[in-house]
Amino acid sequence: MIVTIRIHCHLCRVVALASLCMLSGCLEEEVVSLEIKRPEEPLYRSDWEKFERIVNDLPEPKLRELPSFFPPLPNWQLARTLPVNELAAEERRRIEAAWDTKQQHLDLSSLHQLSRLLRREQLTEDQFHGLIFTIGTAMRRANVVDEGLFQRNRERGNRVAQQLEHDHRLFASLSLEDQYRILDDAIWLHRIERSRRFLEIPESNIKFVQRHAKWLKEVMPAEFLLDPFADLGIPLDELGVPFVEGGPSGSDEQLEWNTSDAIVGY
């Protein structure tokens, strides 16, 4: 019985010492999270508060002059000798990488004082980059003009993507007209991915940016103020063909086509 009491007393002393140590801060320091926020993950108040403090303390023009976060539209060299399906697969990988905040490498060196502000908030540059992209994509999602476009893009885009995947013709061997048509079709790969990604954005993130829309408009890049598909252009079959009617007769035989007016990859 005496031994048992002594053991219990020893345990009590250990627990008491551990509690005092915890209160006095002598335990191991908390590890700072290195997790990078992604657009499909919810924003927390702590995320927003850190982001807001950093941006408020950045000198003008804040974040407005950052380069684009989204990959450029397909602009394959007309002399490329790879098959169309391989070029399409290459384009898909490029698009997917652009959406992965762990693979993105945006140059933030133009943001003066950023390093000091990140140290203050215990964030890495990659984490801040992830916050910009997550908040920015939520802004674009909040600017959707036509909700039905998500589904229509995916339905039509999947049909076009299948055609590209089964097209084994060498790109360089195609006529100019076919090459321009293929480049226009390749834009559907971007529309498909954006339709999927923007639909994954949490509703809570959209409400966050809507509440702070006025402030965000003053500090964020202009591309985040656009509808999700605004910068992808309109399909060629909806734009028409760049013909010019000549002469007063209006005869179809007098229609002229200028290759310099062709819309390439847009």
Query: At which residue do the structure tokens 């915890």 appear?
Result: 22
- Does a structural domain hold residue 30? no
- Does a structural domain hold residue 45? yes
Q: What is the mean pLDDT of the chain?
A: 84
pLDDT of 183 higher than 90: yes
Q: What domain range includes position 153?
A: 36-261
- Does a structural domain hold residue 246? yes
Tell me the CA distances in angstroms from 46 to 42, 102, 131, one per residue in order: 11, 21, 11
Confidence tier at 262 by pLDDT (50, 70, 90): low
Rg (CA), the chain: 27
- Does a structural domain hold residue 5? no
- Does a structural domain hold residue 17? no
Q: Note the pLDDT tens digit of each residue in 3-41.
A: 444 444 444 454 444 444 444 444 334 345 679 999 999
Q: Note the pLDDT tens digit of each residue in 142-169.
A: 999 899 999 999 999 999 999 999 999 9
- Does a structural domain hold residue 29? no
- Does a structural domain hold residue 27? no
Predicted local confidence at residue 7, as pLDDT: 40
End-to-end Cα, the chain, rounded Å: 87
**Helices H, strands E: what count in the chain?**
10, 2
Number of domains comprising the chain:
1
Predicted local confidence at residue 261, as pLDDT: 57
- Does a structural domain hold residue 6? no
Q: Is the peptide bond before 71 cis (omega within 30 degrees of 0)?
A: no
Q: Note the pLDDT tens digit of each residue in 77-129.
A: 999 999 999 999 999 999 999 999 888 888 899 999 999 999 999 999 999 99
Length of the chain, in residues: 266
* Residue 59, token pair as written in the block: 């000198």
**Are residues 60 and 49 in contact, defined by beta-carbon separation less than 8 angstroms?**
no
Q: Note the pLDDT tens digit of each residue in 226-246.
A: 999 999 987 766 655 444 454
Mean pLDDT of 251-256: 57
Share of the chain above pLDDT 70, in %: 76
Predicted local confidence at residue 258, as pLDDT: 61
Predicted local confidence at residue 6, as pLDDT: 47
pLDDT of 204 higher than 90: yes
Predicted local confidence at residue 11, as pLDDT: 46
Predicted local confidence at residue 250, as pLDDT: 53
